[in-house]
Amino acid sequence: MKQDSSVPRVEIRINECKGCHLCVAACPKKVLTPSGSFNNQGYNYAKYKGEGCIGCGICFYSCPEPGAITVYKKES
């Protein structure tokens, strides 16, 4: 799927998320939420609501997992 690089967004790798939801608590725009579903490890992974991300990166630095969150900032 081709992404529009002018729109910031966050991508969560479901199977790398441990469901701690620190990202959910940290997100200033409240665009992250517990998914209510479980990944293959059994964690209630976080998901992006699909819009509203401002690319601030706060979730990235709140997440303890090296690769669970990728943040695409607005292309400068």
In the bound state with other proteins, the residue whose beta carbon lies nearer, of 49 and 61, is 61
Q: Which residues contact 42 (CB under 8 A, 6 or more apart)?
A: none
> Exactly one of 16, 33, 35, 54 binds other proteins (CB under 8 A); which one?
16
| Structure-token match 């199977």, residue found | 15
- Per CB under 8 A, 54 contacts other proteins: no
How far is it, in rounded angstroms, from Cα 48 to Cα 60? 13
Chain positions contacting other proteins, by CB under 8 A? 13, 15-16, 18-22, 25-26, 28, 41, 43, 57-58, 60-76
